[in-house]
Structure 1
Amino acid sequence: MDENLTRGYCQLRSPKLKKRPVTSRDGLTPPHDPCSCIYLGLVLAGAGFLLPYNSFITAVDYYQSRFPGTTIIFDMSLTYIIVAFISVCINNALVEALSLPVRITFGYLLSFVMLLIIALCDVWFQVFTHDMAYTVTLGAVAIVAIGSTVQQSSFYGFTSMLPRRYTQAVMTGESAAGLLISINRILTKALLKDEKVNTMIFFCVSISLVWLCFIVFHVTRRTEFVRFYVSLCESAGLAEDQRGITKGNTYTEEVGLVDFQEPSTGQHYGVLVIQSPTSPTDPSRQFEAKSVHPVTGQATVNDITRANEAEVTFQGQHYKMHIPKVSAFKKGLEMRYEVSRTVWPYMVSIGLAYFVTLCLFPGIESEVISCHIGTWMPILLMAVFNLFDFIGKVVASVNYDWPPCRLAVLTLCRVVLVPLLMLCATPRLSPTLKGDGWPIILSIILGITNGYFGSVPMILAPSKGGTHRHTIAVHVAGNIMTLSYSLGLTTGSGAAYLLDVWLGPHQTTDPCAISNTTQFHPYNATFT
C-alpha cells in the first residue's frame, strides 16, 4: 500500500539545497552499494509484507472449491483493505511508540503465525467446520492486514532515510510479492494433482519466503551503507530539533531565503521571507527585505522562539516581529489544504488507478470461467496481472516529469477496462467476449497500467508539495497521497460487489455442462 505513512523521518534530498558531496564524520565519502545488493535486498524485504495477502487470494482455486457459491475472494479483498485503512490511521498516531525494527519484526511474526495456522488447521487437518473455516479465514486476513500495514509504513519510513531509488525498490518489491506467489501457485498446482497436498506445499513455500524476507531485512539494515545514511539522517533530525523544528512542537515555521534569480526571470534578488508553511501569503506572517543583492547584501535570521517572535538582522538593523499563535490542529489542516492545491492531480491519479484495479482484481478476475483450462483460468489471470504490474513498476522508475493534468486524464482512461473485462464474465453461462484470449489480454493491460500509474503519482507528488520544500511538506504530501490511495482501494473493493451483482447469482453446479458447451468440469480441470 502507500508510502510515506510515517512521521518524523527525513528524505535525503531537498530541491532548494545545492548539491554537495556528502561526507561522513570521518571525512570519508558514503559507502557504495556493491552490485546493487542493498537495492535487491530491499526489493525482497519489501515483498515480504504483501506475500501473506497474495498467498490468500492466489489460492483462489482452493478457496472456490472450499467455499463454493460464495464471494470469498471479494470478502478477503474488502476485509484486508478496510482493516489496513484503519491500521494506517492508528499507526500514524502511534508510530513513535516502538522502534522501526520492532514494528517490522512484529509484522513478520503476525504474517508467519497466521499463514502457519491456516496451513495446518484449515488446509491440512481441517479442524474447522465450513462456516467456522470461512470466519477464521477472514479473521486471518484481517490480522495479516494489521501486520502488513505496520510493516509497509515502517519500510517507507526506513527507506526515506536512504537515497530516493531505495524507496522505489520497496515499491518494486510490492509487485514482486504477487509475482513470486503466482509462480509458487503455478508450480505447486502443476506438479501435484492432489489439491490438499499442493495447497499445503503452496502455503509452506509462502511461509518460507516470508521468513527469508525477514532475514534479508535484518541483514540489510546492519550493513555499513544503511547505517551511514540512517546516522546522517538522525544527525539532520537533531540539527532541526536545535533550530526549533521538532517533531513534537505545536509551532513549526519555515525560515529561509528565496532563491536568487537573474533579472531576466522577472524576479527580485534576495527576497528575505519569514513565513508559516500553512499560510505563505498572509502579510501578518512575513517580513520582506527587497533588493538584497546576493553578493553585497547581508541578512541573518535568528531562531524563532516559543514566544512566537522572530528577530531579523538586516544590513546592521535589528527587527522583531510577532507571529500570531495558531493551534496545531488548525495549522495542520491549513498545510494539508495548501499542499493539496498543488498535488490534487496526483491525488486524483492515484485514487482512480487503484479504484479501477480493485473493481476488477482479484474479485471479477476470479469469476472468469474457462471450459478449456478450468480452475487454471483465475490463477493464470492473476499471474499475468502480477507479472505486468511488476513490469509497470520497473518502467515507472525511469525519470519522466509528467504534466499533472495529463497524468490524471490518462489514468481516467483506464475506466474503460471495467466494462471490457466484465463482458468476459457476463452473462456467467455465456460471456459476451468469448474465448480465453480476451481476459488474458485485458489482464495484461490492467496490470501494466496499474504498475505504472499506481507508482508515478506516488513518486512525483512528495517533490511537488507546493512552495514548502522541506521535510514536513514532503511528509504531508505523502500522507495526503496515502489517503487518496486508500480511498481508491476501499471504494474500488466496494464497487466490485456491485459488479458481482451485475454478473448474477453464483453457480453451485458445473456452468459449462449447463451451457452445453462441453462436459469438461472447470472445478477439477488440469492441463493435459
Structure 2
Amino acid sequence: MGSVGAERFKELSPAGTPEGNVVMSFSFDSYQLEEDELQRGSQAKGVLTFMEPASEDPEPQDRYHGIYFAMLLAGVGFLLPYNSFITDVDYLHHKYPGTSIVFDMSLTYILVALVAVILNNALVELLSLHTRISVGYLFALGPLLFVSICDVWLELFSRRQAYAINLVAVGVVAFGCTVQQSSFYGYTGLLPKRYTQGVMTGESTAGVIISLSRIFTKLLLSDEKENTVIFFFISIGMELTCFILHLLVKRTRFVRYYTDGSRKGLPETRGAGDPGTGYRVHHDVTSEDVRFENRQRGQPRSPPEGGLCKGRTAVLAELCCLSLPDMLLYRYVVSRLIWAYMLSIAMTYFITLCLFPGLESEIHNCTLGEWLPILIMAIFNLSDFVGKILAALPYDWRGTHLLVYSCLRVVFIPLFIMCVYPNGQPTFGHPAWPCIFSLLMGITNGYFGSVPMILAAGKVSPEQRELAGNTMTVSYMTGLTLGSAVAYFAYSLTSTSHSTCFYTETS
C-alpha cells in the first residue's frame, strides 16, 4: 500500500474486502498510534482498535452531580450573552422603531459565529482547550459591560451610533461565545455522554433564565431604562459565575481523570536511532468503521511533548504536526462516521433560525401589545429546555432516522408565516396560535438539536471525540447561518405590520 519509509500521506485508494464492502485506505507515516504500546503482542491480526487506556487510579464518581451542574451552567454561559441582547425585544422596538434590529443582530451573530467555529476547528491542535474557553468568556463579558453601561445606562451615543455599536457588540459576543461553545463540546466529548446532554440543556436554560429575567424586571420596574440596565447587570453577574465555576471545575479530580486519560498512552519521545511506528487508516464505508493498522518504519518523528502540542489528547498532539492535507483528511475520516448526525443538527437549527428570534419578535397583538413577542420567546425557551431534558432519555437513534424527523420540522415555517400574513388579517390571528406553534417548535428543537450531538461522540473513538465535537459544531453553525439568511425573507412579510393592529374575529 505504499512505502513504509515515506514521510507523508501516501495513498487514498478504494479496495474490496472478502465481504464485498468498499474500503478506503488512508496511509499516515511517522506518527505513532497511542494504543500501540497497549496492543502490542495482542492477537488482533495487525488491526488495532481504540480502547480507553488503563489507569491505576479508580474511576472517580460525580456523587453529588456537581460536575453535571457545572456543565449545565457552562451551556448557560455561552448562550446567555446573545440571549440578553435579543430578549429585551420591547426595548429594541422602542429605541429602534421600524428597523430590522432583531434580524440584523441574529444574522450578525450567526455570520461571525460561523467564522469563529471554523477557526476554532482549524486551531484545535494549536491552542489548548481551556485557553480557548477562557478567552471566549472574556470576549463575551466585555461587550455586555460596555453596552449596558455606556449605551443603555449613560446613553453616550446617538441612535445611529448605538445601532452600529450594538451590532459590533453582538459580533464580538458571537466570536467569544462560539469559541466557548465549540470547545466545550470537544471538552464534554472527553467526559461521559451525559455531560454533553448537560451542556445542551444549559443552552436552553440560558433562554429560560433570560426570558424570566426580562419578564420580572419589566413587571417590577415601569421605567424602561432602569429595568433594562438591571436586566443586563443580572446577565453579567451570571456570566461571571459561569466563568469562575469553570476555572474551579477544570481542576477537579473527576475532570482531570478523563481529560488526562485521553492523553495517556502517548509514547515518550524516542531517540534518533529508535525505530518509530506509523499507522494506516482503513475506513470501511459500508460499516462506517475505522481501523488502524500498525507499521514499522526507520525514521521516527514523534509528536513533541511541549510547546503548542502540550495538553492535547494523543491523537490531537499527533495532528499538531501533520500537514494541512493530512489534517483535512483526518477530519474527513471523522466526518464519514457522523455525517447523518451532522446533517440532522444542521437541518434542525436551520428551520428554527428561519423563525426564531426574527419572525417571532414581529408577531403583534392589540390586546397584548409588546408582551406577545416576549411571551412567545419565553414559551420557546422553556419548551426547548424541556426538549433537551427529554434528550437524556436512553434511545439509540439511527442517524438517518434523526435526519428524516429533523426535516419534518419544516412544517413550522408555513404555520408561523400564516401568523403574520396577510398583513392586518393573518390566517392565524389569535395570539394562542403562535404560542402553540412556539411550544411545539421549542420541544422538537430541544430534542432533535441535542440527540445528534450526544450520539455523535459515541460513533468515534474516545481520542477522536474532541475533534468530532468541533466538527458537529461546524454543522450546527452552518444550519444557523443559512436559517438566519432565509429569515430576512420572512421579515419582508411583516414590513407593514408595525402600523397594523391585529384583531381576531369571534364567531
Per the normalisation by structure 1, the TM-score is: 0.74
Q: State how far apart, in whole Å, the 2-side matches of 1:158 and 1:329 are.
A: 23
Offset of residue 160 of structure 1: 2.8
Q: Which moved further from structure 2: 177-186 or 227-236?
A: 227-236
Which one of 195, 219, 232 corresponds to residue 261 of structure 2?
232
Q: State how far apart, in whole Å, the 2-side matches of 1:345 and 1:96 are.
A: 25
Kept in 1, the 8 Å contact 2:348–2:406? The answer is yes
Deviations 1:182-216 (A, max 9, x none): 11111101111111111111011111111111121
Q: Which residue of 2 aligns with 1:499?
A: 490
Matched, 1:488 2:479: yes
Matched, 1:86 2:115: yes
Offset of residue 475 of structure 1: 5.1
Kept in 2, the 8 Å contact 1:279–1:335? The answer is no
Per the normalisation by structure 2, the TM-score is: 0.77
Deviations 1:268-308 (A, max 9, x none): xxxxxxx4246889xxxx999xxxxxxxxxxxx56455579
Q: Which residue of 2 aligns with 1:406?
A: 401
Report the residue type matching 1:484 in the other structure. Answer: S
Report the residue type matching 2:206 in the other structure. Answer: A
Q: State how far apart, in whole Å, the 2-side matches of 1:50 and 1:427 are.
A: 33
Q: Which moved further from structure 2: 210-219 or 491-500?
A: 210-219
Offset of residue 151 of structure 1: 1.5
User: Which secondary structure does the structure 2 equivalent of 1:374 belong to?
Assistant: coil
Matched, 1:392 2:387: yes
Q: Which residue of 2 aligns with 1:276?
A: 281
Q: Which residue of 2 aligns with 1:375?
A: 370
Deviations 1:317-347 (A, max 9, x none): xxxxxxxxxx944445555555545433323
Offset of residue 391 of structure 1: 1.1
Total equivalences in the alignment: 432
- Give the CA RMSD over aligned residues: 3.2
Q: Report % sequence identity.
A: 49
CA, structure 1 residues 190+480, in 2 after alignment: closer, same or farther (shift >3 Å)? same
Which one of 30, 52, 67 corresponds to residue 96 of structure 2?
67
Q: Which residue of 2 aligns with 1:159?
A: 188
Offset of residue 175 of structure 1: 1.3
Q: State how far apart, in whole Å, the 1-side matches of 2:496 and 2:278 are.
A: 58
Deviations 1:450-492 (A, max 9, x none): 1111111122233335xxx4634x4554444333222211110
Q: State how far apart, in whole Å, the 1-side matches of 2:398 and 2:292 are.
A: 33
User: Which secondary structure does the structure 2 equivalent of 1:50 belong to?
Assistant: helix
Question: Where does 1:456-495 land on structure 2 (aligned, <5 Å)?
Answer: 456-464=451-459, 469=461, 471-472=463-464, 474=465, 477-495=468-486
Q: State how far apart, in whole Å, the 2-side matches of 1:417 and 1:99 are.
A: 40
Matched, 1:174 2:199: no
User: Which secondary structure does the structure 1 equivalent of 2:78 belong to?
Assistant: coil
Kept in 2, the 8 Å contact 1:278–1:335? The answer is no
Question: Where does 1:415-430 land on structure 2 (aligned, <5 Å)?
Answer: 415-430=410-425
Kept in 2, the 8 Å contact 1:42–1:220? The answer is no
Q: State how far apart, in whole Å, the 2-side matches of 1:140 and 1:185 are.
A: 20
Q: Which residue of 1 aligns with 2:352?
A: 357
Q: Which residue of 2 aligns with 1:143?
A: 172
Larger Rg, first or second structure (1 or 2): 1
Kept in 2, the 8 Å contact 1:23–1:30? The answer is no
Offset of residue 139 of structure 1: 0.5
Offset of residue 407 of structure 1: 1.7
Q: State how far apart, in whole Å, the 1-side matches of 2:403 and 2:156 are.
A: 49
CA, structure 1 residues 302+95, in 2 after alignment: closer, same or farther (shift >3 Å)? closer
Kept in 2, the 8 Å contact 1:278–1:334? The answer is no
Q: Which residue of 2 aligns with 1:200?
A: 229
Structure 1: runs of 5+ lacking an equivalent: 1-9, 243-250, 255-274, 289-300, 309-326, 519-528
Kept in 1, the 8 Å contact 2:456–2:468? The answer is yes
Which one of 242, 247, 259 corresponds to residue 218 of structure 1?
247
Report the residue type matching 1:138 in the other structure. Answer: L
Kept in 1, the 8 Å contact 2:185–2:469? The answer is no
Matched, 1:35 2:27: no
Offset of residue 146 of structure 1: 1.2
